[in-house]
Structure 1
Amino acid sequence: MATKSTPNLTLSGAQTALAAAEAHSKHIGVPMNVAIVDSSCHLLAFHRMEGAKPTSINIAIDKAFTAAGHRAPTSIYKENVWPGGPAFGIWNSNGGRFMTIAGGVPILDTEGRVLGAIGCSTGTPAQDEEVAKAGKEAVEKVFREEKKQGRSRL
């Protein structure tokens, strides 16, 4: 086979993730920058909540970029990126866009394929990850419901 079709998150899916992330961000009282990318790491949607730090805009986008491209949450790096760790210096890859701070999580379909990712930034790494997971879980819930009904819009 000379070509392969790669599943991607749609704008509708990105909007579902944004809405859920914003709602959770408001719930915890920390305004966020929220970025959604597709499985090819291209930006689908971005939302800067009132009060979110302007310096966190690119961080949110790069967290989503890293989670989609590496097919893993950005929180997995932790001690691995410290001097002497097996991934020390990885943040210099991809033009300096590789993020090793929690807050980027992949969005998966019901078969475990990465469709895109969400990245959040402005709070602590734990808060960023919590808000990103809320967005991811909202989209994945829709996928499960649509699979049960035999249809797919995201």
Structure 2
Amino acid sequence: MSSFLTESTVKAVIKRAQTLASEQHFSINIAVVDAAGLLRGFLRMDDAVPGAIDVSIKKARTAALFRTDSLELGAAAQPGGAIYTLEATNGGLISFGGGVVLHDAEGRVIGAVGVAGATVEADQAIALTAAGRG
């Protein structure tokens, strides 16, 4: 990966997610955002749940904006947690699995991928694979 999110990287991330989801018989929504949380690529697989479109984008935005996988933010975002109500910021965020940070070869954050429409555990595993970390 280069120091910014290229079109070829976006396509490769989406393809890895789509391939694994198909192998596992899931129809998912896949969103890829740049480091500022702006949408760079999206795929809604056939039969993917429409309500998960926004969820996939918010998972990706959450990971990109906070430079942390959405799953890692989850514990602190629960009632009583240090960042409780985080999800109400930035136009709405998601603090459970499926949003994974994308890094360049030097380890800099270049964006994130968000996966939604399978189980939360499968969303996370697919997103990690899509990011090249699974």
TM-score range, shorter chain: over 0.9
1:61 aligns to what SS in structure 2? helix
Which residue number corresponds to residue 4 of structure 2? 8
Report the secondary structure of 2:112's partner residue: strand
- Whole-angstrom distance in 1 between the partners of 2:24 and 2:66: 28
Match of 1:116 in 2: 111
- Cα deviation, residue 16, structure 1: 0.4
Show CA shifts across 1:42-75 (max 9, x none).
1111000011100000110111111111101000
Give runs of ≥4 in structure 1 deviating > 3 Å.
none
Write out per-residue CA displacement over residues 13-59 of structure 1, whole angstroms, 9 at most, x where no aligned residue: 00000111000001111111000011121111100001110000011
Instruction: Tell me the amino acid that sits aligned with residue 114 of structure 1.
Output: V
Q: Does 1:136 align with 2:126?
A: no
Number of residue-to-residue matches in the alignment? 131
For structure 1, the 5+ residue unaligned runs are 1-6, 141-154
User: Counterpart amino acid of 1:45?
Assistant: G
* Aligned equivalent of 1:101: 96
Q: Which has the higher helix share?
A: 1
Aligned equivalents of 2:27, 2:19: Cα separation in 1: 10
Identity, in percent, stands at 32
What's the TM-score once normalised by structure 1's chain length? 0.81
Q: Which residue of 1 aligns with 2:29?
A: 33
Question: Please, what is the CA RMSD of the aligned residues?
Answer: 1.2
Deviations 1:53-102 (A, max 9, x none): 00000110111111111101000123322211111111111122x21011
Higher mean C-alpha deviation, range 28-37 or range 73-82 = 73-82
